[in-house]
Structure 1
């Protein structure tokens, strides 16, 4: 009877047609730990340990791609169908996958539907030996097992859109509110970097084959499409969908925006399209998303830094009995600029910590000096003044600084080059979400030398250095993928290698984890010197709010 049931089970797995509902249900199980019934997936480990729901989802260890991972001495093998059901062989004729974590020994027998079901339910591998104790045992019904194994069969089974036999297609996205000089600088870097990549392929490089037919890799040229958006933000997503339909791409690399980037973020998440390190001051904070990766949180990180410092100061004051409430916070920003979002974010952070709401004093985008002076009127000694202003507005500040505590956005104001009047330079603490200028000097030698040798004009140094860094990171990531050009695997490999980089341009360090989408997470507070030629003075160390 048992053999008859097993044979019937195998027959159903082979002959039962897949449907969209099956795929969706299996994907929910694999990624979220939710069974087709809506109940939570339950996994049992040794010693009675139980995991449920998201904690039991396959994606936690085997990743979205199904290619597995490695952490120290722990290797999680791939579960994509190509590896599970690969016929046993003594020949090395499939070595394009040899660098994957948990690469399967070619001499091992492949899984069958029956042995794979046994592995999932009982933790018994294809060789009859117990699997790692890290692998939970899942008691799922026959229908669910059929759906799951069908999902694994198709997982990462074809190359992603934008990948052809000889070309990797990329796009970069430019919004209409992006700064023109920064846009031109970014595109100059991208075009030169792509040209350098393709210079190695001139004359045509064919796949390398040995006498034993070992396939190593195919060099693919890089092609860049520039997607320039037009009109209002509510039309950008439809424009992007049309562009992607006409020009399928493997990933979006760099890009540049102004105040608004959310439509681009939503588009990339909807299309499962990696969007890697765009130049934006106001990114979308959605750590649960997968495909959008940023260098840092921009002005929102600066708001977090200020909120954390104010919360600490308030707590210290309350502990000493000096005050029971936080200070009055006054924010000055220009309408329609990134500072408007930063001010709203700071207000939300203050409210979350139980502090009084700030008093906003918005300015017109081209505010004259008189309007700025009025915004700074009636500032009391115990107030906190936060300036979310660009260099032009900072230069128009009155010569006398208020006696209040003053914070200024370094990102918006120009960092150490912020044109604060003399009296304000020592009064203001400037947020600085990058490495300090002196230790950054060595890391900057690499991109600046490249700009010089390649005759790339420097129109906005930080934007161009970040763009160069994004290109280098993508190049390094791709070099470790061989020909496994799957979008999910690109993100996973980027997570794995990013923290190993030693040279990171403006940033002291970069790192990502599966639930993180901002590679740099902290910053400094600095005071600007009286003379622009002197070094900035940090107030405390690197802080992660």
Structure 2
């Protein structure tokens, strides 16, 4: 509850405009207004920009003014137009079907999908009462709107555009949804690890089989489903979209897959060095992509449909950059002035090395990046490399195991935990004294209680554990989807799926490898930090924290 109150206070300015728009949105009269360009309504709704390119303005009790993005409808009513809930504050849906629908005295009378916050008994808005609501803050029955609702002044053309846009939100059913089936895809790139691929698919296929094991029967009528608010009586069907060839051909392959079988969302998935074409496809087609297993996720401020558990090796680069800038707890306890980075050309470590180098150079730290060709020997490359205060290894387990002689005692060694295998990283014993691992997950003793349920589930179903983190993350993604769908009832809207995950994620108790998962609107990475860890003993793989939890 405390968090809810803080969130409300923090976002109060954002919440006000959306309510004002609720009334103004639908104020229009089909013959009364000129029709501006089609994209004006979307611009007002999502960005708070009017048809003339100027910021939309709103007032509250003639005192508080909001302009532009702060006055966008989507801030409160979300991209779906289906509203949201924070603590005791409920933001109602403003898609046209919810504002214009006839009043209902009981759930049995509803003819639209159930949404938290919908006003079932309120008189429907007319164009006149909506105009009054947006300008004066009076609802369809003559009562004041909620205290968060400001008053807006949109011209007739902008109002017409906004109404037209709201009507586009009245899609009763998303692609990939039938009366009896929910279709989902998982995407696998050609450079994905075949062992991880097998482990991920094992989990997905068994989870879908479990979901479909109970007899479903016929889908209940809409009115009946209102009484069973947490039941979505549909079978889950999984489609495996295997990609082939060069990345510049993946978009065309994905478009063919989607045309052949539309899906409601992409669930999990597995990538190698390059996930960007898949990410871009899902954003363009507005298909939710839920928690794929990728080491180099795509970072973008404006994307909405892709969710990741963490930033992967890019988060590791941030953790290590912070540690090198603040080296009090480092193996040498001395400032780092020079860094040598080793990575395989074209592997995930290349992107992370570039990010780390950019960050360190801004701090005046010299960075020497060494890209190893496919057949190069790591020990030989290190033997001929110049000395540096710190050595950063973006390497896989076979390369770590073949490092050879220990580095000079004065050299701090940092290792990518994700690429190296986390606490199972096979560093030779003589390397472990100086080695520190970037560790963007919870410590083994901390996560045990949260992953034991998943591993017990694997054991009961005889699923071989071939990659603990990938399989635990895949199971977690499936559970998050199932829980979210149970609360969506029949409101199958892709944007609403994303928004419900945003809202529900922080309340999740079983968070797998991660100590905490949260997604505020606009955030796409659910776990924000990590540790720097060290080996407890040179001859054992057990790791312990060498830093507090770091959020870069």
Q: Same fold (TM over 0.5)?
A: yes
Q: Does 1:390 align with 2:425?
A: no
C-alpha change, 1:210 and 1:414, in structure 2 (3 Å) is closer
**Greater CA deviation, 54-63 or 442-451?**
442-451
Q: 1:162 aligns with which of 176, 191, 214?
A: 176
The within-5 A match list for 1:43-82 is: 43-46=58-61, 48-82=63-97
Whether the 8 Å contact between 1:18 and 1:150 is mirrored in structure 2 is no
Distance 1:237 1:447, change over 3 A: same
Aligned in 2, Cα 1:52/1:426: closer, same or farther, shift over 3 Å? same
Identify the residue that residue 360 of structure 2 maps to in structure 1. Answer: 350
Aligned to 2:157: 143
| Residue in 2 that maps onto 1:28 | 43
* 3-state secondary structure, aligned to 1:13: coil
Distance 2:26 2:90 in 1: 29
Answer yes or no: is the 8 Å Cα contact 2:534–2:543 preserved in 1: yes
Is 1:207 the counterpart of 2:220 in the alignment?
A: yes
Q: CA shift at 1:63, angstroms?
A: 0.5
Q: Deviations over 1:29-62 (max 9, x none)?
A: 1001111111111111235211111111000001
Aligned equivalents of 2:545 and 2:26: distance in 1? 67
1:361 shift after superposition: 1.3
Could you say what secondary structure the match of 1:358 adopts? strand
Q: Which moved more, 1:362-371 or 1:482-491?
A: 362-371
Q: Spell out, residue by residue over 1:124-181, the C-alpha distance to the aligned partner (whole angstroms, 9 max, x if none).
A: 2112222223222211111111221222233143211111111111000000010011
Instruction: Specify the alignment match of 1:415 in structure 2.
Output: 422
Structure 1, unpaired ranges of 5+: 1-8
In the alignment, what sits opposite 2:520?
Answer: 513
Q: What value does the CA root-mean-square deviation take over the aligned residues?
A: 2.7
Question: Which residue in 2 is equivalent to 1:223?
Answer: 237
Asked if the contact 1:201–1:219 (Cα under 8 Å) also holds between the matched residues in 2, the reply is no
Residue 118 of structure 1 pairs with residue 127 of structure 2: no
Alignment of 1:398-477 (within 5 A): 398-402=404-408, 403-477=410-484
Residues 93 and 215, structure 1, Cα contact 8 Å, conserved in 2: no
CA distance in 2, matches of 1:198, 1:295: 26
2:10 corresponding residue in structure 1: none
Aligned residue among 5, 14, 28 for 2:30: 14
The two structures have a TM-score, normalised by structure 2, of 0.89
Q: Tell me, in whole angstroms, the C-alpha distance in 2 between the residues paired with 1:54 and 1:209.
A: 37
Name the residue aligned to 1:40.
55
Distance 1:211 1:164 in 2: 18
Q: CA–CA distance in 2 between the matches of 1:399 and 1:212?
A: 67
Aligned length: 524
Q: Distance in 2 between matches of 1:263 and 1:84?
A: 39
CA contact 1:390–1:413 (8 Å) conserved in 2: yes
C-alpha distance in structure 2 between counterparts of 1:17 and 1:125, whole Å: 22
Cα distance in 1, alignment partners of residues 315 and 498 from structure 2? 23
Per-residue CA deviations over 1:479-500 (Å, capped at 9, x if unaligned) read: 0000100000000000111011
- Report deviation, 1:98: 8.2
Between 49-58 and 118-127, report the one with greater CA deviation: 118-127
How far off its partner does 1:502 sit? Answer: 0.9
User: Is the 8 Å Cα contact of residues 406 and 430 (structure 2) preserved in structure 1?
Assistant: yes
Match of 2:105 in 1: 90
Aligned residue for 1:192?
A: 206
TM (norm. structure 1) is: 0.90
